[in-house]
Amino acid sequence: MNIEKNDGADQQLFAITEIAHEFGISTRTIRFYEAKGLLSPERVGSTRVFRKRDRARLLLILRGKRLGFSLKDISDYLSLYDADNTQKPQILLLQSKVDERLNQLEMQLQDLEITISELREIRQLAQDQLQKFQQQPQEKSQVKSQEKPHEKSKVSNDL
Protein backbone atom coordinates (compact mmCIF):
# COMPACT_ATOMS: atom_id res chain seq x y z
CA MET A 1 0.00 0.00 0.00
CA ASN A 2 2.59 2.58 1.12
CA ILE A 3 0.38 5.62 0.51
CA GLU A 4 1.54 9.23 0.72
CA LYS A 5 -1.04 11.51 2.30
CA ASN A 6 -0.75 15.26 1.99
CA ASP A 7 -2.12 17.36 4.86
CA GLY A 8 0.62 19.89 5.14
CA ALA A 9 3.28 17.27 5.76
CA ASP A 10 3.73 13.97 3.99
CA GLN A 11 2.68 11.09 6.21
CA GLN A 12 3.35 7.57 5.08
CA LEU A 13 0.63 4.95 5.58
CA PHE A 14 1.23 1.19 5.64
CA ALA A 15 -1.07 -1.77 5.13
CA ILE A 16 -1.28 -4.48 7.79
CA THR A 17 0.42 -6.98 5.48
CA GLU A 18 3.37 -4.62 4.95
CA ILE A 19 3.81 -4.15 8.69
CA ALA A 20 3.47 -7.88 9.34
CA HIS A 21 6.04 -8.70 6.67
CA GLU A 22 8.46 -6.03 7.91
CA PHE A 23 8.41 -7.34 11.49
CA GLY A 24 8.17 -11.03 10.60
CA ILE A 25 4.86 -11.56 12.40
CA SER A 26 1.39 -12.52 11.29
CA THR A 27 -1.43 -10.11 10.57
CA ARG A 28 -3.33 -12.00 13.26
CA THR A 29 -0.69 -10.95 15.81
CA ILE A 30 -1.14 -7.32 14.82
CA ARG A 31 -4.92 -7.62 15.11
CA PHE A 32 -4.43 -9.24 18.54
CA TYR A 33 -2.36 -6.25 19.74
CA GLU A 34 -5.04 -3.97 18.31
CA ALA A 35 -7.75 -5.88 20.22
CA LYS A 36 -5.71 -5.49 23.41
CA GLY A 37 -5.58 -1.73 22.86
CA LEU A 38 -1.84 -1.61 22.23
CA LEU A 39 -2.25 -0.45 18.64
CA SER A 40 -4.93 1.76 17.15
CA PRO A 41 -4.52 2.01 13.40
CA GLU A 42 -6.71 4.31 11.38
CA ARG A 43 -9.18 2.92 8.91
CA VAL A 44 -9.77 3.77 5.32
CA GLY A 45 -13.09 2.07 4.71
CA SER A 46 -12.61 -1.35 6.25
CA THR A 47 -8.82 -1.37 5.69
CA ARG A 48 -6.43 -0.80 8.56
CA VAL A 49 -3.75 1.74 7.82
CA PHE A 50 -0.73 2.23 10.00
CA ARG A 51 1.40 5.32 10.46
CA LYS A 52 5.03 5.57 11.53
CA ARG A 53 3.82 6.02 15.11
CA ASP A 54 2.04 2.64 14.93
CA ARG A 55 5.21 1.03 13.60
CA ALA A 56 7.20 2.52 16.48
CA ARG A 57 4.64 1.24 19.00
CA LEU A 58 4.71 -2.22 17.43
CA LEU A 59 8.50 -2.23 17.65
CA LEU A 60 8.27 -1.41 21.38
CA ILE A 61 5.62 -4.11 21.88
CA LEU A 62 7.73 -6.76 20.18
CA ARG A 63 10.87 -5.69 22.04
CA GLY A 64 8.96 -5.78 25.34
CA LYS A 65 7.65 -9.28 24.60
CA ARG A 66 11.12 -10.49 23.61
CA LEU A 67 12.48 -9.17 26.91
CA GLY A 68 9.75 -11.00 28.82
CA PHE A 69 7.44 -8.15 29.80
CA SER A 70 3.73 -8.82 30.11
CA LEU A 71 1.23 -7.13 27.83
CA LYS A 72 0.00 -5.20 30.89
CA ASP A 73 3.51 -3.85 31.53
CA ILE A 74 3.86 -2.92 27.87
CA SER A 75 0.44 -1.27 27.88
CA ASP A 76 1.31 0.78 30.98
CA TYR A 77 4.55 1.88 29.39
CA LEU A 78 2.92 2.84 26.09
CA SER A 79 0.10 4.73 27.78
CA LEU A 80 2.63 7.08 29.37
CA TYR A 81 3.69 8.24 25.90
CA ASP A 82 0.29 9.83 25.44
CA ALA A 83 0.00 11.19 28.99
CA ASP A 84 3.20 13.23 29.41
CA ASN A 85 5.45 14.84 26.85
CA THR A 86 8.40 15.04 29.27
CA GLN A 87 8.55 11.22 29.35
CA LYS A 88 9.78 11.36 32.95
CA PRO A 89 6.98 9.08 34.27
CA GLN A 90 7.62 6.73 31.38
CA ILE A 91 11.33 6.59 32.15
CA LEU A 92 10.68 5.98 35.85
CA LEU A 93 8.23 3.17 35.03
CA LEU A 94 10.66 1.72 32.54
CA GLN A 95 13.46 1.76 35.10
CA SER A 96 11.26 0.06 37.68
CA LYS A 97 10.06 -2.64 35.25
CA VAL A 98 13.58 -3.25 33.96
CA ASP A 99 14.88 -3.66 37.53
CA GLU A 100 12.08 -6.14 38.27
CA ARG A 101 12.79 -8.09 35.09
CA LEU A 102 16.54 -8.13 35.76
CA ASN A 103 15.91 -9.52 39.25
CA GLN A 104 13.64 -12.21 37.81
CA LEU A 105 16.19 -13.17 35.18
CA GLU A 106 19.06 -13.22 37.68
CA MET A 107 17.05 -15.55 39.93
CA GLN A 108 16.25 -17.76 36.92
CA LEU A 109 19.92 -17.75 35.97
CA GLN A 110 20.88 -18.93 39.47
CA ASP A 111 18.22 -21.64 39.29
CA LEU A 112 19.48 -22.69 35.86
CA GLU A 113 23.08 -22.83 37.06
CA ILE A 114 22.06 -25.07 39.97
CA THR A 115 19.99 -27.28 37.67
CA ILE A 116 22.82 -27.55 35.14
CA SER A 117 25.26 -28.47 37.91
CA GLU A 118 22.91 -31.15 39.25
CA LEU A 119 22.34 -32.56 35.76
CA ARG A 120 26.08 -32.73 35.12
CA GLU A 121 26.52 -34.55 38.42
CA ILE A 122 23.77 -37.04 37.51
CA ARG A 123 25.30 -37.53 34.05
CA GLN A 124 28.68 -38.28 35.66
CA LEU A 125 27.10 -40.77 38.06
CA ALA A 126 25.37 -42.46 35.11
CA GLN A 127 28.65 -42.62 33.16
CA ASP A 128 30.43 -44.10 36.17
CA GLN A 129 27.70 -46.71 36.56
CA LEU A 130 27.86 -47.59 32.87
CA GLN A 131 31.62 -48.08 33.13
CA LYS A 132 31.06 -50.47 36.02
CA PHE A 133 28.53 -52.43 33.93
CA GLN A 134 30.93 -52.58 31.03
CA GLN A 135 33.67 -53.97 33.29
CA GLN A 136 31.40 -56.58 34.94
CA PRO A 137 30.78 -58.78 31.87
CA GLN A 138 34.54 -59.04 31.34
CA GLU A 139 35.02 -60.07 34.97
CA LYS A 140 32.18 -62.64 34.74
CA SER A 141 33.54 -64.13 31.53
CA GLN A 142 36.96 -64.40 33.17
CA VAL A 143 35.39 -66.14 36.16
CA LYS A 144 33.39 -68.48 33.91
CA SER A 145 36.44 -69.41 31.86
CA GLN A 146 38.30 -70.16 35.09
CA GLU A 147 35.39 -72.29 36.36
CA LYS A 148 34.95 -74.32 33.19
CA PRO A 149 38.05 -76.47 33.60
CA HIS A 150 37.08 -77.14 37.18
CA GLU A 151 33.52 -77.98 36.14
CA LYS A 152 34.81 -80.33 33.45
CA SER A 153 36.96 -82.21 35.90
CA LYS A 154 34.02 -82.40 38.29
CA VAL A 155 31.82 -83.83 35.53
CA SER A 156 34.47 -86.38 34.52
CA ASN A 157 34.92 -87.38 38.15
CA ASP A 158 31.22 -88.13 38.40
CA LEU A 159 31.40 -90.53 35.46
pLDDT value at residue 1: 53
Q: 48 near 84, Cβ under 8 Å?
A: no
pLDDT value of position 143:
56
Q: How many angstroms separate the CA atoms of 83 and 34, rounded?
A: 19
Q: What are 21-39's pLDDT values in tens digits? A: 999 999 999 999 999 999 9
Pick from 83, 87, 46, 81: which is nearest to 61 by CA?
81
- Report whether pLDDT(152) > 60: no
Closest among 80, 85, 40 to 58, alpha carbons compared: 40
Give me the residue spans of the domains in the chain. Answer: 3-72, 84-139
pTM above threshold 0.85: no
CATH number among 3.40.30.10, 1.10.1660.10, 1.10.10.60, 3.40.50.300, domain 3-72: 1.10.1660.10
Q: Edge-to-edge strands of the sheet including 9-15?
A: 3-7, 9-15, 47-50, 42-44
Q: Which of 61, 53, 3 is nearest to 30 (CA)?
A: 61
Q: What is the pLDDT of residue 4?
A: 46
Confidence (pLDDT) at 93: 86
Query: Residue 65 above 70 pLDDT?
Result: yes
Q: Is the pLDDT of residue 136 over 50?
A: yes
At residue 104, φ and ψ (nearest 5 deg) are -60, -50
